A and B are shown apart, each in its own frame.
Chain A
Amino acid sequence: MPKTALGFLVGAVAICGLPPLNGFVSEFFLYIGLFRSTLLRASGVWVAGVLGAPALAIIGALAVACFVKVFGAVFLGAPRSGHVRDAREAGASMTAPMLMLGACCIFIGLVPPAIAPALDHAVAAWAPEATNGEIGLASLAPLGWLSALAITLMALLAGGFALFAARVRPSRAAMAVTWDCGYAAPSSRMQYTASSFAESLVGIFSWALHPRVHPAKPVNIFPRAEHFKSEVPDPVLDRAVLPASHQAGRFLVWFRWVQHGDVQLYIFYVLAALVLTMLLRR
């Protein structure tokens, strides 16, 4: 699925905030703001930058780890199942929107000055007092340099790859199985999976993530076939939001009599609410 893979790759690089795509332009604004705030004399403000910039750096590195993992597990390596091996590219009506969005990522990344006026309008609508209608993004961040370097980077990458591909053609090169330290028949089951890729990273943050491992230890001298499974529950959704909403649901059962499906009574609720607000208003 080369087109889907290409679209996903562009999106992944962009969302990781890597140059030369649009995500980098956004992160660049954030970093510039954070670094500038560290230079302010006002006490307290610069702490935001001191804490924010390294936090953004960790988030950036985690995003790279996360999206390389997804991209690698889904699109790269040997197919892990028959479904994947027989996967075919979707039709143009499904790939075209993806490639168009990818083209937007590339365009904003290469020519950030083109979208600066639109952002200025948005900032002016959000916080008119901060801009005074004069200071534009173009004067705060060197968008011209960003644009020039992004185009240079893209051109060098494309040119370098074209040169290299012309010099080293797969059709002329020898093809072989992946080197697996002398093992003659590496199979797709030996590949790193997404969870094994994340294992060491999850290990570092196990104090927050609490990964669950279900090991099935082989017993006896001739053990049966066993399975190993590990999962990382989402600490926000699985450990906080879902249990909390579950509890709230149990509590809200008491109010279920209000909701009975009788339209006339619902209209009465509306009337009662209106009268009440009018009374309170006075």
Chain B
Amino acid sequence: MPAPALHLLVRALVTVMLPPLLLGVITKTKAKIAGRVGAPFLQPYYDIFRLLRKGSVFSTTTTWIFRASPIVSLITALLASLMIPLGNQPPAISFTGDLVLFAYLFGLARFFTVSAALDTGSAFEGMGGAREATFSCLSEPALFLGLLVLVKQSESLSLGGMLGARLAGVWQGAGASTVLVLASFFIVLLAENCRIPFDDPNTHLELTMIHEVMVLDHSGPAFGLILYGAALKLFVLGAVVVRLALPFSMDNAWQDWGLFVFGMLLLSVVIGVVESVMARLRLRQVPSLLVAACLLSGFGIILLAR
């Protein structure tokens, strides 16, 4: 088997298999810090398979929009995963301006997730949808400002070029702005995936939640797909952060894969530690943190403008 095809196969396997493990590592980290044994690493896989086998309950007010939203979230995350480099491995698809499609695919998923929340007619899900729509107005510019810094650094208009082999050189040349973008993207990662300090995925108090409250009414296979889609989104945005933080290339491709998987697991541990040492922010303060993320990337651009 030729090497590029083999690595595409590895890429597909890693993309499909790894995401739930990240959730497992986060949960395990939080449990260890709290002094508990915690659920097994593979618990998210068990959960997803259990949900996929279960029956469904639908609300009588829902329409096809409600049933379409898990599919939209999953498919858009899968397509987005094709456009990012995994570690030192180039993306499966790369073209000028793919970063715009990358960002807007998540916008499409958001449109349908919030619509599905409104489809149920529940007060709580409407609340979650309103919060999601509000905070995305601040996390989107943060994402685009960060991408602008990377575009300007690499002089490339594709994610494969921006996060490609030249990234290590960029770190030496413009390390300060790269650090700022890395911090900004980490905040965006936490916000987009509804982790603490923006949202608490473990809470069972509907009033305080954002993402989980929007999917309260999904059950069975639909909820399984939502869980998997959320894990995939964490994987995709996490891969960007990991590539920014670990821009090295090893001696051969297999070591690159190892470094990437190690980086993703390390990122999960870091998220777990953040969730253990912080409380959720008050909702009124969430916009401030997102604006801070915008400002970090904004300063990154100013540093490049010299």
What 1/0 mask marks residues of chain A from 11 to 53 whose CB sits below 8 Å from any chain B CB? 0110011110000100110011001101100000010011001
Contact B110 A141 (CB under 8 A): no
The residue that A160 contacts in the complex, of B55, B71, B294, with Cβ under 8 A, is B71
Contact B122 A19 (CB under 8 A): no
Contact B67 A165 (CB under 8 A): yes
**Can you name the residue of chain B whose Cβ is closest to the Cβ of A200?**
B134
What 1/0 mask marks residues of chain B from 103 to 147 whose CB sits below 8 Å from any chain A CB? 111011011001100111111111101110110111111011101
**Can you name the residue of chain A whose Cβ is closest to the Cβ of B137?**
A61
A-side contacts of B68, CB under 8 Å: 157, 161
Query: Nearest-CB distance from A16 to chain B (Å)?
Result: 6
Contact A164 B61 (CB under 8 A): no
* Segment among B150-158, B193-201, B271-279 that sits at the interface with chain A: B150-158
* Segment among B1-9, B170-178, B213-221 that sits at the interface with chain A: B213-221
What 1/0 mask marks residues of chain B from 69 to 97 whose CB sits below 8 Å from any chain A CB? 01110111011000000000000010111
* Segment among A113-121, A148-156, A225-233 that sits at the interface with chain B: A148-156
Query: Nearest-CB distance from B207 to chain A (Å)?
Result: 9
**Can you name the residue of chain B whose Cβ is closest to the Cβ of A192?**
B126
Considering the chains assembled together, what is the distance between the CA atoms of A172 and B216 in angstroms?
A: 20
Identify which of B105, B115, B221 gathers the most chain A CB atoms within 10 Å of its CB.
B115
Contact A53 B148 (CB under 8 A): yes
Considering the chains assembled together, what is the distance between the CA atoms of A72 and B111 in angstroms?
A: 10
Contact B61 A178 (CB under 8 A): yes
The residue that B57 contacts in the complex, of A9, A71, A174, A191, with Cβ under 8 A, is A174
The residue that A18 contacts in the complex, of B107, B118, B216, with Cβ under 8 A, is B107
**Can you name the residue of chain B whose Cβ is closest to the Cβ of A71?**
B115
Mark out the residues of chain A between 172 and 192 whose CB falls within 8 Å of any chain B CB in the assembled complex. Answer: 172-181, 186, 188, 190-192
Whether B100 sits at the interface, judged by CB under 8 Å, is yes
Whether A145 sits at the interface, judged by CB under 8 Å, is yes
Considering the chains assembled together, what is the distance between the CA atoms of A165 and B222 in angstroms?
A: 10
Considering the chains assembled together, what is the distance between the CA atoms of A55 and B142 in angstroms?
A: 10
Identify which of B126, B129, B145 gathers the most chain A CB atoms within 10 Å of its CB.
B126
Considering the chains assembled together, what is the distance between the CA atoms of A142 and B72 in angstroms?
A: 24
Contact A18 B104 (CB under 8 A): yes
Contact B119 A72 (CB under 8 A): yes
Contact B75 A175 (CB under 8 A): no
Whether B56 sits at the interface, judged by CB under 8 Å, is yes
Contact A76 B57 (CB under 8 A): no
Whether B59 sits at the interface, judged by CB under 8 Å, is yes
- Using A78-B61, A174-B56, A177-B60 as known contacts, say yes or no to A18 and B134 having CB atoms under 8 A apart: no
Instruction: Give chain B's interface residue range (CB within 8 Å of chain A).
Output: 35 or more
A-side contacts of B144, CB under 8 Å: 53-54, 56-57
* Segment among A62-70, A124-132, A215-223 that sits at the interface with chain B: A62-70
Whether B225 sits at the interface, judged by CB under 8 Å, is yes
Whether B203 sits at the interface, judged by CB under 8 Å, is no
A-side contacts of B96, CB under 8 Å: 32, 141-142
Whether A246 sits at the interface, judged by CB under 8 Å, is no
Whether B65 sits at the interface, judged by CB under 8 Å, is yes
Contact A164 B71 (CB under 8 A): yes
Whether B10 sits at the interface, judged by CB under 8 Å, is no
Whether A94 sits at the interface, judged by CB under 8 Å, is no
Whether A136 sits at the interface, judged by CB under 8 Å, is no
- Using A175-B60, A201-B130 as known contacts, say yes or no to A19 and B105 having CB atoms under 8 A apart: yes
Query: Nearest-CB distance from B142 to chain A (Å)?
Result: 8
Contact B152 A18 (CB under 8 A): no
Considering the chains assembled together, what is the distance between the CA atoms of A190 and B123 in angstroms?
A: 6
B-side contacts of A170, CB under 8 Å: 58, 67
The residue that A180 contacts in the complex, of B57, B95, B108, B124, with Cβ under 8 A, is B124
Whether B244 sits at the interface, judged by CB under 8 Å, is no
Contact A77 B58 (CB under 8 A): no
Contact A61 B136 (CB under 8 A): yes
**Can you name the residue of chain B whose Cβ is closest to the Cβ of A31?**
B100
Considering the chains assembled together, what is the distance between the CA atoms of A200 and B210 in angstroms?
A: 13
Contact A32 B75 (CB under 8 A): no
Query: Nearest-CB distance from A4 to chain B (Å)?
Result: 13
A-side contacts of B61, CB under 8 Å: 77-78, 178
- Using A62-B137, A142-B95, A176-B57 as known contacts, say yes or no to A24 and B121 having CB atoms under 8 A apart: no
A-B contact pairs, 22 of them (CB 8 A): A17-B104, A28-B100, A57-B143, A62-B137, A64-B107, A72-B114, A76-B119, A76-B121, A77-B61, A142-B97, A145-B93, A153-B79, A165-B67, A173-B57, A179-B59, A179-B122, A190-B123, A192-B125, A192-B127, A197-B133, A200-B131, A204-B134
Instruction: A18-B108, A168-B221 given; name 12 further pairs at CB < 8 Å.
Output: A28-B100, A38-B152, A39-B152, A68-B129, A174-B56, A176-B57, A176-B58, A181-B206, A200-B131, A201-B133, A201-B134, A204-B138
Query: Could you tell me which A residues sit within 8 Å of B by CB distance?
Result: 5, 9, 12-13, 16-19, 24, 27-28, 31-32, 35-36, 38-39, 46, 49-50, 53-58, 60-62, 64-65, 67-69, 71-73, 76-78, 141-142, 145-146, 149, 152-153, 156-157, 160-161, 164-165, 167-168, 170, 172-181, 186, 188, 190-192, 196-201, 204
